[in-house]
Structure 1
Amino acid sequence: MSQIHEKSPQHCAKKKLINLKNHHKKLIYTFTTFILSILLLILLVWFILHPTKPEFAIKEASIYQLTLSGSHLLNSSIQTTFLSKNPNQKVGIFFDEIQVYASYKGQRITLDSSIPPFYQENKDSNLLSVVLVANGLPVDPSFGYEMGRGQMAGRLVLNIKTNGQLRWKVGTWVSGRYMFIVNCVVVLPFGASVPAGPLTSKQGSQCSTTV
């Protein structure tokens, strides 16, 4: 006599639930593996092509005007030329925004001046020239005193500061935007007698860059 085994509806439902859970586990495992593979690839590319921050150096700076109107209104005109270098071998740099200004003893002495956006190839260098000006710019009342001290010391120490945004380019891939800040120190001769021409420094100076 043959025996007939029939599975109950409860047993079938339990089996379907187990199969569904296994299917979900496989999907989660596949998705997690895919995401981890992408992240590992990005991390690998980053370590291989880790971009080095751009380098800047002041080549020349000239002060054509730096005079007080009244007790605390400054008129200034400064021209500076600096070198921008991309030290990377396989990474290009898009400079999207560049704002430059000058400061003295922690005080702004010019307004912002813009440099047009440009792309810099790997291992490439560019000379950038900008004129920084201010008319009737309010400064601290101690500015004149600090200028007098600098004149007695025989030198004028300025900071040429730059900030903006850049993007890295590797092949056809372009990164998101990163903020960068550049600080350059310029030392100009500033004796007791004011020269007829501009105060000029051609010694050059390396700048610090933060990305």
Structure 2
Amino acid sequence: MSHHPKIHPLDDPEATPVHPTAPLVPRGASRSEHGDPTKDPLTQRPQRFVPLAPPRKKRRSCCYRCVCYTICLLLLLVVAVGATIGILYLVFKPRLPDYSINRLQLTQFVLNQDSSLSTAFNVTITAKNPNEKIGIYYEDGSKITVWYMEAKLSDGSLPKFYQGHGNTTVIYVEMTGQTQDASGLMATLTDQQQRTGNIPLRIRVNQPVRVKLGKLKLMELRFLVRCGVFVDSMTTNNVIKIQSSSCKFKLRL
């Protein structure tokens, strides 16, 4: 029985050596005189650093600040005025005047040939100033009118005078007027008097005044007085009987 010789592999000195897959020296542990060979300046682009924009500061414009200052000044002014009014109210304790129609006389009430109505009234008004520390100057430019429904019958003006503290003043006013196309108005007035026994009239007063607080004379104001008066008839040259009357008072700047 023949024996085959065993062949054992021998190292071939001419064979290509097999390099290990892992580097013998860790990458980056050695540097050549020309620098790191792993970093090729031709293949790698240098990183570009973009500077960050500085944070924007909140700037308030001049217009915005002016508006804020104006609002603050207005608020301070309102507070100051309110405090002043409150102090004056506590010191002087103002009260509204009181007005009443005491007497009404019709001196002329004629329907003319051209259908116009001529009228003339004498009115007696009582004005009361209930304030103990406030005086009232009745200035020029006042107006008083007498109305029946929507037709103005007469007008006039109140005299200029000063009404002191707690004073009651009786005012006599003469008024005249002429109403055009008054035939229908005359018929309506006569019919109402026969049916109801009274005639409703309205008296309006627009009076400029100035209020005096102690020695201080304030700016001009306006008293608006509205009086509803029911009379028994419209007979001339007689004192008309006032069945009822009521007045409302308003103050306007």
Would the aligned equivalents of 1:72 and 1:143 in 2 still touch at CA under 8 Å? no
Whether 1:77 and 2:117 are equivalent positions in the alignment is: no
Whether 1:47 and 2:82 are equivalent positions in the alignment is: no
RMSD of aligned Cα (Å): 2.8
Whether 1:137 and 2:165 are equivalent positions in the alignment is: no
Query: TM-score, structure 2 length as denominator?
Result: 0.61
Which residue matches 1:158? 201
Q: Which has the higher contact order (CA 8 A, sep 6+)?
A: 1
3-state DSSP of counterpart to 1:109: strand
Q: Which amino acid aligns with 2:248?
A: S
Higher helix share: 1
> 2-side partners of 1:174 and 1:158: how far apart?
36
Query: TM-score, structure 1 length as denominator?
Result: 0.72
> 2-side partners of 1:196 and 1:43: how far apart?
49
| Per-residue CA distance 1:168-188 (angstroms, 9 max, x = gap) | 111111111112211122222
Which residue matches 1:100? 144
Higher strand share: 1
1:144 to partner: Cα distance = 1.8
Compared CA separation, residues 38 and 149, structure 1 to 2 (3 A): same
Would the aligned equivalents of 1:86 and 1:121 in 2 still touch at CA under 8 Å? yes
Which residue matches 2:160? 117
> 1-side partners of 2:219 and 2:236: how far apart?
48
> 2-side partners of 1:175 and 1:90: how far apart?
14
Q: Which runs of 5+ in 1 are unaligned?
A: 1-30
Would the aligned equivalents of 2:229 and 2:242 in 1 still touch at CA under 8 Å? no
> 2-side partners of 1:118 and 1:36: how far apart?
34
Compared CA separation, residues 84 and 204, structure 1 to 2 (3 A): farther
Which residue matches 1:208? 248
Of 139, 148, 161, the residue aligned with 2:190 is: 148
3-state DSSP of counterpart to 1:64: strand
Larger radius of gyration: 2
3-state DSSP of counterpart to 2:122: strand
Which residue matches 1:27? none
Would the aligned equivalents of 2:100 and 2:246 in 1 still touch at CA under 8 Å? yes
